Chain A
């Protein structure tokens, strides 16, 4: 039976006008956003400011302006109280040298305040949970990339945090490992009641594991909200492949009020407003002498939300 934590609708993380500058470069610029309980994806291209936001919330980086609150605590004033309730899985490889997995995870538990015996017991439990049960007595330095990702998740979980920060958790994993990791993250969020913020540039990862999303672009919030709401706010979506100048046709569609963007495989995704349908696409194609080679109704995806948010930026 899932162990669900005390339900609350209050935001667990709140940023108010937060700006972070590295030299002359703004990593975050006047960011104001709230993270509801549950699983929230922090989405954006590389360099959008996702990791900086997590590091600012952990008080690794001091914002040049603005306030941040986690569980109602001010990050600037009560970083230790906040970190006692947070588990952080960093993006880069990170471990404590010279330790095997179980010692490392137990040590992390003790650092987070668990008594030694409890920390060791929890270490065994979370290592089994993340799938490293059989390899728990091996030195971490001998682990593969995928195993190192799992051990980072284990150390973040050992003290039973109320909120997990996962920074690119599927980085460097093979397809099977990635699938397993996403399954773990989804299980934590949906069956174990752990709140989490998953920072990723991979749309499918966020779409599979999260209920809400915050899209960052160039240090600002491009869009935020429940994924279903963001996906469902437009009319019918069509996948379209044409013979002709794609970029020009995209422009034509946009001028006609049909939002459209190109994907990787020469496929255009067009958002036709309610009441117009596929006929509108054929008419426009005919008028501009473009041959439609493929037209298929589709469903809105997070990729559409992302493309639209970044397009508006």
Chain B
């Protein structure tokens, strides 16, 4: 006779109301991704430009001879521009498998048989990627402002550049929104995370190569809307009140970004289902 019968028991505790499962998905996804050493290395590497900028700010604040290194709004714009490279790699590393791996393991029917809707599932997956991307854009951008304040010993720079905090925030969130939505949508189209990564890179490079070729043929940059990286560069210049680098009106760039997000949402609506019906 067993000492303790390992039998099935009723659960008598409380349950959360539906609506919080996206937090569970996001938390589990973040924890499992951050446990990967390669990814942790990539994250740390993505913070290298922050430390270089911090040193630049320190030298400019400490040594009057190095006043040409003093930060301006352009410094922050350039910093976030550089971070786009890390946004690209982190998006591929952390985002490609988010839905593709679930599709490969038939996990969607497990998720969607639980009390959570498709929007909540997608929201949880988006939150994983967005969290990492904000960690290498918005967080270091805002931190740099505080570093400047700490080293200079006054809030004069922030007071004279009051739009910087909203600019960093809006640009970071815009680039994260675009990268997360497009990657999650691509991830829902395949069962292979490797293929998804290649697709994402192909879309990014192909759109940019196309633009570069056409700008030389047509001798105009007003077609920059066809390049994904150029869309963000153009919007970044406008948001940081810098002279735009392309001739494309910024509302067109913004519209294309929103259209890409919209198409991604449409793809997700069609592809994230408990059962895929092929007729």
Contact = CB atoms under 8 A, between A and B. Distances in A.
A192 B8 CA distance: 7
Interface residues of B, number: 39
Interface stretch (B40-48, B106-114, B172-180, B224-232): B106-114
Given A96-B110, A111-B25, A114-B13, 11 more contacts: A80-B116, A81-B115, A83-B114, A84-B18, A95-B107, A96-B102, A111-B116, A112-B115, A113-B18, A133-B6, A155-B110
Contacts of B65: none
B28 A94 contact: no
Interface residues of A, number: 48
Interface stretch (A54-62, A290-298, A300-308): A54-62
B54 to A, nearest CB: 35
A19 to B, nearest CB: 15
B244 interface: no
Given A113-B16, A115-B14, A58 B277 contact: no
B190 to A, nearest CB: 14
A58 B15 contact: no
Contact of A112 (B14, B15, B97, B277): B15
B63 interface: no
20 contacts: A22-B277, A58-B113, A61-B275, A81-B18, A81-B115, A88-B113, A90-B113, A93-B106, A95-B107, A97-B101, A107-B24, A111-B114, A112-B15, A113-B18, A113-B20, A115-B14, A129-B6, A133-B6, A155-B110, A159-B114
Contacts of B13: 114-115, 118
A169 B36 CA distance: 35
B69 to A, nearest CB: 45
B21 A111 contact: yes
Main secondary structure of the interface of B (DSSP, over half): loop
A145 interface: no
Contact of A92 (B17, B32, B106): B106
Given A94-B106, A112-B114, A112-B115, A128 B6 contact: yes
B71 interface: no
Contacts, number: 120
B6 A58 contact: no
B234 to A, nearest CB: 38
Given A23-B279, A111-B114, A159 B15 contact: yes
A80 B111 contact: no
B6 to A, nearest CB: 4
Ranked 5 nearest A-B pairs via Cβ: A23-B279, A60-B274, A160-B11, A113-B15, A88-B113
Contacts of B11: 114, 118, 122, 159-160
A95 B105 CA distance: 6
Contacts of A90: 106, 109-110, 113
B104 to A, nearest CB: 7
A59 B7 CA distance: 31
